[in-house]
């Protein structure tokens, strides 16, 4: 060993012979699974709920961006500072009112979200799912696989009724004999 570390001789190994611990190696954890392993919970789809505060903040930010663009344009035109403030306040009030009361004929939902806009994506997904549910006339209390459960229940009832009728027929035969 060369200096009591690593290879017996570094010759021909292409290294200095010094061996280091691999700190990037993932060691298995002793803890249990951090999630529920129940089959019902795994099968159930849970829609990600958006944070309303973040959505509201982003909408207000869009309003302020438009107000700032107007301010920048007016400053380049050389408009008086008081006039700029008045026009910016009017635009801000108008945009906030439009945001509070979305009118008829609004544009279609935005599709071009960035990857970091997870709350907007979740909000759009919920709205899209709701539109699809209404278009297909699916009730809010719909349970996946409910059709098969109802079919099994009807089959059981039919089998029970058939078994009951068979017992009655046997009882009639016994009574006749």
**Residue-wise pLDDT tens digits, 127-153:** 898 899 899 988 888 777 777 888 899
pLDDT at 5 over 90: no
Q: Are 6 and 18 in contact (CB under 8 A)?
A: yes
- Rounded to whole angstroms, the Cα distance separating 38 from 32 reads 14
Q: What is the pTM of this model?
A: 0.46
Identify the pLDDT of residue 72: 93
Domain ranges across the chain:
49-102+113-135
Q: Are 119 and 50 in contact (CB under 8 A)?
A: yes
Q: Give the tokens for residue 39.
A: 């089959």
Tens-digit pLDDT profile for residues 13-68: 777 777 788 888 887 776 666 656 666 555 666 777 888 888 888 889 989 999 99
């Amino acid at each position: 060993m060369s200096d009591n570390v690593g290879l017996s001789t570094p010759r021909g190994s292409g290294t200095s012979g010094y061996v280091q611990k691999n700190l990037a190696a993932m060691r298995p954890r002793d803890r249990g699974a951090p999630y529920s392993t129940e089959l019902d919970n795994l099968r159930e789809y849970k829609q990600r709920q958006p944070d309303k505060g973040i959505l509201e903040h982003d909408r207000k930010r869009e309003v302020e961006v438009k107000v700032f663009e107007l301010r920048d344009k007016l400053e380049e035109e050389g408009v008086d500072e008081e006039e700029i403030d008045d026009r910016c306040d009017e635009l801000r009030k108008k945009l906030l009112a439009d945001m509070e009361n979305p009118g008829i004929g609004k544009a279609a939902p935005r599709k071009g979200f960035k990857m970091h806009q997870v709350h907007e994506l979740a909000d759009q997904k919920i709205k899209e799912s709701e539109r699809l549910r209404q278009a297909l006339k699916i009730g809010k209390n719909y349970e996946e696989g409910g059709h098969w459960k109802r079919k099994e229940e009807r089959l059981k009832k039919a089998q029970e009724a058939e078994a009951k009728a068979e017992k009655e027929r046997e009882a009639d035969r016994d009574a006749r004999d």
